[in-house]
Amino acid sequence: MCLWYCTGHFKDARTPQAFGDSNWMRIPPSNSTTVSSDGAPFPGYTMVILAILMITLVVVVVVGNALVILAFVVDKSLRNQCNYFFLNLAISDFLVGAFCIPVYMPYILTGRWMLGRGLCKLWLVMDYLLCTASVFNIVLISYDRFLSVTRAVRYRAQQGVTRLAVVKMLAVWVLAFLLYGPAIIFWELMVGESIVPEDECFAEFYCTWYFLLSASTFEFFSPFISVAFFNFSIYLNIQRRNRSRMAHEASNPCAPCRSGGHARLLRDKKIAKSLAVIVCVFGVCWAPYTLLMIIRAACSGSCVEHHWYEVTFWLLWLNSAINPFLYPLCHSSFRRAFAKILCPKRLSVRPHEERNCVTPLWKDMKQF
């Protein structure tokens, strides 16, 4: 999702030469490049460090999301509507680590795209598609949690209807593709020419700031506002139920021993904190890239140092490494499934103990 290459002015994060040119070194008067003696864009030790960091990220993304996917294979009790959205998120993030990052690694280390124009188009479509699908899945998960709290009875009745979940999952992929896919594929046909050199790979709309602003509205701003709204509404709902519970216990001295109000209060606070983490991580990983991308496109790359953009670009992929730990691992049912995969002899998943993603909230709702 990096759109930072305007010929002679600024480069795309998908254009690794930016590390070695005057934009990366900030030497505007000339177009000279800073490369090592053997023609590589980085010194040998720097390439080794970067390769190790990128390989580590690939391993974390692939292994973390593969565990989520395998959990659905080994544990049928996870296959409910809410958890299917975690599966959809894990698939998109898994493909980021299995395809997008590995294809990008030779490009950034050598400074040349050597895989041809066709694979360049495919990689761009997949990268934009998968990152956007990851965002939309986060919104879908937050919306699902919102419904589980505000419409608990109706939501429970629909838990066994997987068709509705599948429709929502497919909608995520279709909308994610429509946001950038057609532009990547057909932009050069609409403008009549391609501005991408043979040995580079970046989106044709790199410095069309009004397109980037419009797309970012759907890719980040609207999703972020939606996620914040859903999770803030959940927090308010939890607070309201806590106040009602406390008032009920005050009027009925026997209520604490029957309802365990204090334990539920601690659990509700934990839920609220986890929801706040979801919003914060999403914002930290996506806001810097989105804002700097638009600003730099508007000023033709002359107002912000390029290395800040490269850092924000990698934050997007880092989000795919965080998601499998931030979402499924906060549920005991996923943790037991992971333990069954990693340590099958020490722990077996007991279906009768499984809880779906909203059971604690439903149990609280039953008290009123």
Tell me the average confidence (pLDDT) per consecutive run of 10 residues in the chain, 368 residues long: 40 41 31 46 79 94 93 84 88 95 90 90 94 92 83 73 87 96 90 83 82 89 91 83 73 57 60 74 89 79 73 88 80 79 66 45 40
Give the model's pLDDT for residue 347.
Answer: 55
Give the model's pLDDT for residue 363.
Answer: 42
Give the model's pLDDT for residue 66.
Answer: 94
Number of domains present in the structure of the chain: 1
Query: 3-state class of 10 per DSSP?
Result: strand
Q: From residue 328, give the alpha-carbon distance in Å to each of 78, 89, 135.
A: 11, 10, 16
Asked, for residue 3, whether it belongs to a domain, the answer is no
The CATH number of the domain holding residue 93 is 1.20.1070.10
Give the model's pLDDT for residue 190.
Answer: 85
Asked, for residue 5, whether it belongs to a domain, the answer is no
Give the model's pLDDT for residue 329.
Answer: 65
Asked, for residue 11, whether it belongs to a domain, the answer is no
Give the model's pLDDT for residue 123.
Answer: 94
Give the model's pLDDT for residue 91.
Answer: 96
Domain that holds residue 20: 16-366
- Nearest alpha carbon to residue 14 among 32, 31, 1: 1
Give the model's pLDDT for residue 268.
Answer: 57
Give the model's pLDDT for residue 191.
Answer: 83
Separation of alpha carbons 213 and 210, rounded Å? 5
Separation of alpha carbons 336 and 349, rounded Å? 6
Asked, for residue 1, whether it belongs to a domain, the answer is no
User: 């009004």: which residue's tokens?
Assistant: 210
Give the model's pLDDT for residue 360.
Answer: 41
The whole model's pTM is what? 0.79
DSSP assignment of 252-305: -TTHHHHH-HHHHHHHHHHHHHHHHHHHHHHHHHHHHHHHHHHHHHHTTT-SS-
Asked, for residue 92, whether it belongs to a domain, the answer is yes
Asked, for residue 6, whether it belongs to a domain, the answer is no
Separation of alpha carbons 237 and 234, rounded Å? 5
DSSP assignment of 205-254: TTT-HHHHHHHHIIIIIHHHHHHHHHHHHHHHHHHHHHHHHHHHHHH-TT
Asked, for residue 349, whether it belongs to a domain, the answer is yes
How many angstroms separate the first and last alpha carbons of the chain? Answer: 47
Asked, for residue 132, whether it belongs to a domain, the answer is yes
Give the model's pLDDT for residue 322.
Answer: 92
Give the model's pLDDT for residue 126.
Answer: 96
